């Protein structure tokens, strides 16, 4: 459950990180255009200023027009630099978002790895327990009559893996039905090595000191 939730959560975070990378790439292009626009206008202003400084413009009207254009270019540069600054701020925000999402992905991956390792260890422990039970069952079944083992295996296959059940406090632990007094009397009268079956579920009943006989 926890691992599945991490996988679902990782998909959402990965989508957000992808969106942040796309936004960052778009902003990078926008910043390049803004930088180019600023440099282009600055170059034009420097060219016009150089012409004025060199005295290349002798006509007063042309000079006045050039000075007005310089003022216009300066305002344009100021506006473009504002755009440039805005793009830079958005780039920083997108970089921070991408860093946050990347960190979140790394954290999820670490937790997933830890959960996978824990699950693998639990599976290994369970396999070891199953092997131990199988060995124990084989040891206990050794020497049992073949016909009894055949009956047990047949019942186990048809009764959800439980072919025999303990009789405790007058109740079959296979079907959890209380055995009536008459049936208990019959069971009590039978030799200890006789095979006793539950009248309700047909499983082999294992008599114990707590059977209530």
Reply yes or no on whether the pLDDT at 39 is more than 90: yes
Every domain of the chain and the residues it spans: 2-138, 146-207
Reply yes or no on whether the pLDDT at 1 is more than 70: no
What burial letters (b/e) apply to 48-70, b meaning 16+ CB within 10 Å? beeeeeeeebeeeeeeeebeeee
Instruction: Between 9 and 142, name the one with better pLDDT.
Output: 9
pLDDT tens track for 140-181: 777 778 888 888 889 989 998 899 999 998 899 999 999 888
- Structure confidence at residue 26 (pLDDT): 93
Give the percent of the chain with pLDDT over 70. 99
Number of C-alpha atoms within 13 angstroms, CB side, residue 141? 15
Q: For all residues of the chain together, what is the average pLDDT? A: 88
3-state secondary structure of 195: coil
H/E segment holding residue 113 = helix 60-141
Rounded distance between C-alpha atoms, residue 124 and residue 116, angstroms: 12
pTM equals 0.51
Class of domain 2-138: mainly alpha
pLDDT tens track for 179-205: 888 888 888 888 888 899 998 899 999
- Structure confidence at residue 24 (pLDDT): 92
What burial letters (b/e) apply to 12-40, b meaning 16+ CB within 10 Å? ebeebbeebeebbeebeebbeebeebbee
H/E segment holding residue 102 = helix 60-141
Within 8 A by CB and 6+ apart from 193, the residues are none
- Structure confidence at residue 54 (pLDDT): 85
Choice among 26-40, 108-122, 127-141, 167-181 with the minimum mean pLDDT: 127-141
Q: Within a 10 A sphere around the Cβ of 101, how many other Cβ atoms?
A: 20
Rounded distance between C-alpha atoms, residue 139 and residue 133, angstroms: 10
């Amino acid at each position: 459950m926890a691992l599945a939730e991490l996988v679902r959560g990782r998909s959402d975070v990965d989508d957000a990180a992808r969106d942040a990378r796309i936004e960052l790439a778009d902003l990078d292009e926008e910043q390049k255009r803004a930088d180019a626009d600023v440099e282009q206008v600055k170059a034009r202003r420097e060219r016009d200023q150089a012409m004025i400084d060199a005295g290349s413009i002798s006509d007063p009207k042309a000079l006045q027009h050039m000075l007005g254009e310089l003022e216009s270019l300066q305002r344009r540069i100021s506006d473009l630099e504002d755009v440039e600054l805005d793009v830079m701020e958005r780039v920083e925000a997108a970089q921070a978002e991408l860093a946050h999402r990347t960190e979140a992905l790394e954290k999820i991956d670490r937790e997933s790895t830890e959960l996978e390792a824990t699950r693998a260890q639990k599976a290994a422990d369970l396999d070891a327990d199953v092997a131990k039970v199988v060995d124990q069952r084989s040891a206990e079944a050794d020497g049992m009559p073949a016909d009894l083992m055949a009956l047990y295996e047949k019942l186990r296959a048809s009764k959800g893996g439980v072919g025999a059940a303990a009789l405790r406090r007058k109740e079959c632990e296979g079907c959890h039905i209380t055995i009536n007094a008459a049936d208990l009397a019959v069971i009590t009268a039978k030799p200890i090595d006789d095979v006793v079956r539950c009248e309700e579920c047909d499983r082999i009943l294992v008599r114990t000191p707590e059977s209530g006989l």
